Every structure is written in C-alpha cells, then in structure tokens.
Chain A
Amino acid sequence: MASSFTRMMSGRNAAVLLASLGTGSLAAGYAMTNSAAAEEKRKLYPPSADFPDLRKHNNCMASALSPSIYASLRDKLTPNNWSLDQCIQTGVDNPGHPFIKTVGMVAGDEESYEVFADLFDPVIKDRHNGYDPRTMRHPTDLDSSKVTSGMFDENYVLSSRVRTGRSIRGLCLPPACSRSERREVERVAVQALAGLKGVLAGRYYSLGEMTEQEQQQLIDDHFLFDKPISPLLTCAGMGRDWPDARGIWHNNEKTFLIWINEEDHTRVISMEKGGNMKRVFDRFCQGLKEVEKLIQERGWEFMWNERLGYILTCPSNLGTGLRAGVHVRLPKLSKDPRFSKILDNLRLQKRGTGGVDTAATGDTFDISNNDRLGKSEVELVQLVIDGVNYLIDCEKKLENGQDIKIPAPIAQFKK
C-alpha cells in the first residue's frame, strides 16, 4: 500500500507542478504516442478525413470548430493522454436543439483547457457571454459576510439553495478517469468530509452499497442521484463503471449535501426550506472552506486558476460553478408579458421546480443566476438576492394594482 501511495504522490505532485506553471508550458501539448500502426493510420487518415460532419449541429463546439483548428489539435494529447476527439465526442453525438444551445464538449483533465485552448477559449467566450480567457481574470470570493439583505419574504420564497462543484487537482475528470482515479477521488473526498464537525457533521452513502432503507430515505429527501441517462453525459463517458465509487454525503441536518463522482468529482449543495439565503450561503462558504482545508492537510488541492476560476468537467460550469436559486411563488408576475425581460435584465433564469428542462407547476418557479464566470460567488449571490427581492416587490405591486417597471440591465462583467 505504501509504495503505491508513494507512486501516486509523485504523480500528483507532478501534475500540481505542471498545472501551476501556467499556459505556456502546456500549450505545446504532447505528440501522439508513436507506435508504427498509429503512424500509418495518421498518414492514411489526415485530419480532413476525420473532421466531424457538423452541418446539422447547433452547439458551442460546432460553432467554433473549424477544419484548421481540428487539424492543428487532432494529434495532440494532454499529459494524461486525453485527445481532442474525446473532448468533442459528446458534441458530435448530440447535435443539439434549435432553441437550446448546449456546450458540446467536455474536459478530461485540468490540462485539457490548456492543450486545446484554441477550441475551448472561443467556446468559453460563446457560452459565457463574451468572457475572454486570454485577457480576463476571474474573481473568487467566498466571504459570505459581504452579502446583504439575504432574508426573503417567506410568503413568496419556499426554499433557498446554492450549488457548485469542485475538482481534485491531479486526478482526471469523470469523462476520462480510470476506476482507480475515481476511487481515489471518493477516498479523498470522503476522508475530508469525515472531518467536518458541528452543524456540518454527517455521513457518506456509497451508491453501490447503500441499503434499501437508506436508498428510500435519500429518495424521499430528494438527495439521491441516479445513473445519468442524458446522452449529453453518457456520450462523454461519464457513466462508465456505474455505480463504482459514486456516492452521496450529507450532514445530519440535511442542509449540506455532496455528490461524489456524478458529473464532476464533487458537487456541493447547501439548501434549506424558507427564505434565509444568507444562512444558506454562509453554510456553503464555511463548508467549502473547511473541506478545502481538510484536503490540503493531506497534500491535495482543488483545480483552480486565475483565468478560469474553479475547473470543472463542463465549460459551462467554469469560474464559480455556482447556481444560487430559490423556489418562489410569482402568480401575477409570471403572467405579465414583461416577466422574461425583467429576468433577462436582472441576469436571472427561470426553470420549473423539477430542475433544468422541467416546466413550472402552478405559479412556483426556480429562479437562479445565469452567469458562472467573470463574477465572484459573493457578486452572484448578491445579484440573486437583489433580483429575487425585486421580483417579490413586483409581485406585491401587482397584487395592489400598482404598475411595475422593467429594471435597467445589469452590467455583464466588471469593467
């Protein structure tokens, strides 16, 4: 055991070193492994022979991938031997929807974002409304004390929730990881979570080993996640070896929940019934910081850098990876023709209460921030707080027969 751990340590430290060196050392990439057969195939099939047919596609990858970008990147590999074709497979297999533009590519490891920057950067810019990773810096701020007015009127707000994801530096991401790497993610995360105390103390339920009663309880609590069936995820290889090394951790109070090895190494969720978003965010930040400290004590860290913030599997979750939202009743406002415009200007989005891709039932909506990258956690949560308070104010005005105003649009990024 000791010797394999030592090998692991050196592998991880090398990755940490490489990651901290920045873009320059990795942009060149690694040449494709040279076996005679691979060499022959490369001559027989130039990049143009392999270029995907994207004529019927509508996703960010298809918009950005030209034959010349493909030709320059096809034969490159990340230090973990992950290739461009593997990044884009999900976008090739899922042409997308005329109305919903999916991202269409994933990272297999931290270095994917560097080695394949010529494709990831324009995709990130497209998805994150103009954020340019080449010139801009992403601010990280988990000081929840800065947030104001974080208590909503509970006649309207039924529940509050903040979620994000974190990746463990040195281990491949869900599309690419081997079984050992995935098991290592589980081990590192579960060991750290076991060190949480007080209101954060809790326990881990491994997906493969939970009892029927435990499973039923997790379903009743709406905590259980299932094997991904969305082809967006399965085509990216995230369902491999299910349910090996997947699990759910939650605190005893059921207000802090971690998913392990689902779409990301970890997904972190803080939530509670009612309108106390401040307390939800306080717990969120406290929990994240304590988990980070606990993994650092054992020589691990989260994937993060200045240009992209926290590194996650899907480019749509870069930066903060944060979605802060509420379930809120807006019976009058939701029927007002100005509702969508108001949301747009507040940089908020609506979903049904079943989550993304569900329709609203009755008058209750899931309202959350649009943006992930380019604004800090504190900024985004404040934006949601201010926005939801504005929506509630509109609802009250309409109840009283008063008119409402469309607010001025909020600035995209800090200038």
Chain B
Amino acid sequence: MPFGNTHNQLKMNYSAEQEYPDLSKHNNHMAKVLTQEMYESLRDKETPSGFTLDDVIQTGVDNPGHPFIMTVGCVAGDEETYEVFKDMLDPIIEDRHGGYKPTDKHKTDLNPDNLQGGDDLDPDYVLSSRVRTGRSIRGFCLPPHCSRGERRGIEKLSIESLSALEGDLNGKYYALKDMTDEEQQQLIDDHFLFDKPVSPLLLASGMGRDWPDGRGIWHNDNKTFLVWVNEEDHLRVISMQKGGNMKEVFHRFCTGLTQIESLFKDKGHEFMWNEHLGYVLTCPSNLGTGLRGGVHVKLPNLSKHEKFGEVLKRLRLQKRGTGGVDTAAVGGVFDISNADRLGFSEVELVQMVVDGVKLLVEMEKHLEKGQSIDDLMPDHK
C-alpha cells in the first residue's frame, strides 16, 4: 500500500498552529512560500492515493538548507500532488523556474532534426557529451510514496519495454539486488552504477525505502544509452559518449525516448505529462523537460577569468565539477550544462548548450593566445 503519513485525519484534532512546522531557520523554496495560513488551508487535503501536505514538505522541514544553495524542499508523491497542492507548488515553481506562471504552457520538442549544428564541438576541449532526463509512468505513485508492489510493477514494465529495443539500442537490465560482483564492478568502472541515496534531501522524503528492491540499471551494448529504474524517479534516461558530438548524443536521446514511450503505450501505459508542467517528475526542479544537457570541457583559462560567471549567466548555463552536482572542478575541466528545465523545449535547451559551449571554447582559445574576450561577450539569452 502507498506509504506516508496515513494518520492525517487524526492530526486534524490539533490546530494548524500546533502542527505548523518551525521554519524560522530554513532557507528553501518551500519555507519561503508556506505560511501558517497556507498550511491551514491545505492541511486537510489528500491526493486520491493518500499523499498529504506533510508528506510533500517533510524533506524541506528536515533539511533547512544552505545559506548559498536554495533547495526546493518538497516532493510529489503522485501526479495529482501538483494539482491538489497547487496553491503551494505554483509559487514554488514560479520562483524556481524563472517566473513560470500557473497559466504558462510548456512546449515539448523531441525532434533531433530541429537541432542546428552540435556535431562539431572541438574534441580537444570537449571531452564528453551527455543528455539526461526523467520519465514517470502515469497511474503509479512516485518514489517517495510508492508501495513495494508498485515499485516492482514499474520495474517489470520497464524491463519488458527496454528489452524490446533493438539495433544501436539493444541492451540488458541489471537488477541492483541480483547483480554479480563482476557485473557490479563493471558498472562502477563504466561510471553507470548508482548507489543507495545518502543525501538527507532524498532520504527524508522516503525515496530510499526498501532499497535495493525494484531498482536497477539498463544500458545498451554500446554503453551510450542508459536507464536508471526507481532511483529518484521512475526512470532516468541518459545518452552519452566521449567527445563533442552532441548532435549524435541528442539524436540517440530522442530516438530512444520516443521508442521507449511507444513501447510503454503498447502495454497501455503512458508517461505523466501535461501542457502546463510538461513531464511530471518527483522533484519540482525537474519539471518540464527534466533535461540536463551538458559537456565536460577544458576551460583552464576562461574559468579563472573574472567574467566567467557572468558569461555563463548570460548563456543560461551552469557549471559543476566533473563529479556531478556539489563537486569541484578538477584540472580546469568543468561540467557545463543548461540551467533551465521548464519553459523551454528540449531542442531549445540543447541548442543553448551547443551554441554556448562553442562560444566558451572560442573564448578559451582567445585567452590562450593572450587575446581579450570582450568582443565575444554574449547578450543575455
């Protein structure tokens, strides 16, 4: 049965003031938005599967946040969460996604032919290219809330659909709980293996329950297309390869996703999607495209330049260390990716990455030769 604060009705015996969390030391999107009045108006609601307001916000209550990094502080337990608790989630979405309004429409575009260029990023600088997103299966509860039966159902459906992929996408599934030591080591060496979440942001929302039951990794034989099952979302889909041919990476990404979607539909299941929020995922930060497209790129000179941050900001890009989010750059190599998720289509976001990285590499080359980059400064996108 779905998991959560099932005794919501009993909490109604206490006043909103008695139940309202102490958010005085908190710095996350939920804490910014959730007043006692809003808490009072939403606390008696539940989604059809029984997800409550306290379930949505528990991770944000337990993790006050960081003065410099603004976390979201809430999660969805099912698709309906975004409707039932829209009074709280809409302002959070607006704040997190650059002013996206409750009436705005999100455009989905997974046609790789619409991407211009992207096959010629300089491989002396761009070491690898990658695009990832997530997908949720309509009708199932999301990782914070799903029962073991549901999670296994998602896994079974995923295995069946992925096993029908062919050609470049032919591959194999490795269930986390059944893999051999050799398989595990290989997946670690390939940098494919995901581990039990240790981040309190995830654990506090219940996403680690029953680990490793129902979790696994699928990848194609060429090791360029990878699907994580039941980690932070029902599915995380990743296309990647060494070098700078982002066009090829994106082509495989779109083809793979489209094929997977139609295989699920053959079995009577669709992905959670609507025209306002795009693809629906567990964390509000991943709504819309859920897409992070990026490269590992050598920028030793540019990264030391005082205008580096400003350039990235104008290009709507963000930097991370090559270990992923929350890591530092090593040897002047940065992970550069799109900052946005919602309000732009997949093609638009990858285009921003392709055009932006091209410019960054050009700037790097200028600085190598001792030339100024002032003429190259971009306009704000």
Interface residues of A (CB under 8 A from B): 4, 7-8, 11, 32-33, 35-38, 41-42, 44-45, 49-53, 56, 74-75, 77, 80-83, 85-86, 89, 92-93, 172, 176, 178-181, 183, 208, 234-235, 239-242, 244
Task: Check A50/B14 contact, CB under 8 A, given A81-B9, A82-B6, A234-B203.
Answer: no
A-chain residues with CB within 8 Å of residue B295 when the two chains form the complex? none
State how many angstroms separate the Cβ of A201 from the closest Cβ of chain B. 29
Chain B, 97-146, CB within 8 A of any chain A CB: none
B-chain residues with CB within 8 Å of residue A183 when the two chains form the complex? 18
Closest 8 CB pairs of A and B: A49-B149, A81-B7, A45-B149, A180-B14, A37-B48, A180-B18, A50-B149, A81-B6
| Interface residues on chain B, size class | 35 or more
Chain B, 211-248, CB within 8 A of any chain A CB: 211, 213
| Interchain CB contact (< 8 A) of A45 among B1, B50, B177 | B1
Task: Check A8/B13 contact, CB under 8 A, given A37-B49, A38-B1, A93-B211.
Answer: yes
Task: Check A52/B210 contact, CB under 8 A, given A4-B15, A241-B21.
Answer: yes
Asked whether any CB of chain A lies closer than 8 Å to the CB of B150, the reply is yes
Please measure, in the bound complex, the distance between the C-alpha atom of A241 and the C-alpha atom of B21, giving whole angstroms. Answer: 8
Chain A to chain B contacts (Cβ below 8 Å), 13 pairs: A7-B13, A35-B50, A37-B49, A41-B2, A49-B147, A49-B148, A53-B213, A80-B10, A81-B7, A82-B6, A183-B18, A239-B204, A241-B21
State how many angstroms separate the Cβ of A43 from the closest Cβ of chain B. 11
B-chain residues with CB within 8 Å of residue A32 when the two chains form the complex? 1
State how many angstroms separate the Cβ of B365 from the closest Cβ of chain A. 48
Chain B, residues 339-379, CB within 8 Å of chain A (1/0): the string is 00000000000000000000000000000000000000000
State how many angstroms separate the Cβ of A16 from the closest Cβ of chain B. 15
Please measure, in the bound complex, the distance between the C-alpha atom of A81 and the C-alpha atom of B49, giving whole angstroms. Answer: 15
Contact between B177 and A53 (Cβ–Cβ < 8 Å)? yes
State how many angstroms separate the Cβ of A72 from the closest Cβ of chain B. 14
Contact between B9 and A93 (Cβ–Cβ < 8 Å)? no
Across the two chains, which residue of chain B brings its CB closest to A172? B7
Chain B, residues 169-195, CB within 8 Å of chain A (1/0): the string is 000000001000000000000000000
Contact between A38 and B50 (Cβ–Cβ < 8 Å)? yes
Contact between A81 and B10 (Cβ–Cβ < 8 Å)? yes
Please measure, in the bound complex, the distance between the C-alpha atom of A241 and the C-alpha atom of B62, giving whole angstroms. Answer: 5
A-chain residues with CB within 8 Å of residue B21 when the two chains form the complex? 179, 241, 244
Task: Check A180/B19 contact, CB under 8 A, given A75-B1, A241-B62.
Answer: yes
Across the two chains, which residue of chain B brings its CB closest to A11? B13
Please measure, in the bound complex, the distance between the C-alpha atom of A81 and the C-alpha atom of B8, giving whole angstroms. Answer: 8
Please measure, in the bound complex, the distance between the C-alpha atom of A235 and the C-alpha atom of B19, giving whole angstroms. Answer: 22
State how many angstroms separate the Cβ of B31 from the closest Cβ of chain A. 13
A-chain residues with CB within 8 Å of residue B149 when the two chains form the complex? 44-45, 49-50
A-chain residues with CB within 8 Å of residue B150 when the two chains form the complex? 41, 45
Across the two chains, which residue of chain A brings its CB closest to B20? A179
Task: Check A179/B19 contact, CB under 8 A, given A38-B49, A50-B1, A50-B148.
Answer: yes
Number of inter-chain CB pairs below 8 Å: 114
Contact between B3 and A86 (Cβ–Cβ < 8 Å)? yes
Contact between A52 and B7 (Cβ–Cβ < 8 Å)? no
Task: Tell which of B8, B14, B177 has the most Cβ of chain A within 10 Å.
Answer: B14
Across the two chains, which residue of chain B brings its CB closest to A38? B50
Chain B, residues 42-63, CB within 8 Å of chain A (1/0): the string is 0000001110001000100110
Task: Tell which of A4, A8, A37, A183 has the most Cβ of chain B within 10 Å.
Answer: A37
Asked whether any CB of chain A lies closer than 8 Å to the CB of B152, the reply is yes
Contact between A178 and B6 (Cβ–Cβ < 8 Å)? no
Chain B, 245-289, CB within 8 A of any chain A CB: none
Contact between A178 and B1 (Cβ–Cβ < 8 Å)? no
Please measure, in the bound complex, the distance between the C-alpha atom of A50 and the C-alpha atom of B148, giving whole angstroms. Answer: 5
Please measure, in the bound complex, the distance between the C-alpha atom of A150 and the C-alpha atom of B132, giving whole angstroms. Answer: 68
Asked whether any CB of chain A lies closer than 8 Å to the CB of B96, the reply is no
Please measure, in the bound complex, the distance between the C-alpha atom of A41 and the C-alpha atom of B15, giving whole angstroms. Answer: 31
Contact between A50 and B147 (Cβ–Cβ < 8 Å)? yes
State how many angstroms separate the Cβ of A100 from the closest Cβ of chain B. 20
Please measure, in the bound complex, the distance between the C-alpha atom of A7 and the C-alpha atom of B18, giving whole angstroms. Answer: 13
| Interchain CB contact (< 8 A) of B14 among A4, A36, A89 | A4
Contact between B18 and A4 (Cβ–Cβ < 8 Å)? yes
Task: Tell which of B7, B22, B203, B208 has the most Cβ of chain A within 10 Å.
Answer: B7
State how many angstroms separate the Cβ of B231 from the closest Cβ of chain A. 16
Asked whether any CB of chain A lies closer than 8 Å to the CB of B209, the reply is yes
Task: Check A77/B18 contact, CB under 8 A, given A50-B1, A240-B58.
Answer: no
Please measure, in the bound complex, the distance between the C-alpha atom of A178 and the C-alpha atom of B43, giving whole angstroms. Answer: 12
Please measure, in the bound complex, the distance between the C-alpha atom of A33 and the C-alpha atom of B4, giving whole angstroms. Answer: 13
State how many angstroms separate the Cβ of A174 from the closest Cβ of chain B. 14
Asked whether any CB of chain A lies closer than 8 Å to the CB of B11, the reply is yes
Please measure, in the bound complex, the distance between the C-alpha atom of A152 and the C-alpha atom of B246, giving whole angstroms. Answer: 76
State how many angstroms separate the Cβ of A266 from the closest Cβ of chain B. 20
Please measure, in the bound complex, the distance between the C-alpha atom of A234 and the C-alpha atom of B148, giving whole angstroms. Answer: 19
Contact between A244 and B22 (Cβ–Cβ < 8 Å)? yes
| Interchain CB contact (< 8 A) of B62 among A52, A92, A242 | A242
Across the two chains, which residue of chain B brings its CB closest to A56? B177
Across the two chains, which residue of chain B brings its CB closest to A181? B14
State how many angstroms separate the Cβ of B48 from the closest Cβ of chain A. 4
Task: Tell which of B6, B9, B177, B209 has the most Cβ of chain A within 10 Å.
Answer: B6
State how many angstroms separate the Cβ of B132 from the closest Cβ of chain A. 27
B-chain residues with CB within 8 Å of residue A37 when the two chains form the complex? 48-50
Across the two chains, which residue of chain A brings its CB closest to B2? A41
B-chain residues with CB within 8 Å of residue A42 when the two chains form the complex? 1
Contact between B49 and A178 (Cβ–Cβ < 8 Å)? no
B-chain residues with CB within 8 Å of residue A4 when the two chains form the complex? 14-15, 18
Chain B, 1-41, CB within 8 A of any chain A CB: 1-3, 5-11, 13-15, 18-22
Please measure, in the bound complex, the distance between the C-alpha atom of A8 and the C-alpha atom of B245, giving whole angstroms. Answer: 65
Chain B, residues 86-103, CB within 8 Å of chain A (1/0): the string is 000000000000000000
Contact between B209 and A89 (Cβ–Cβ < 8 Å)? yes
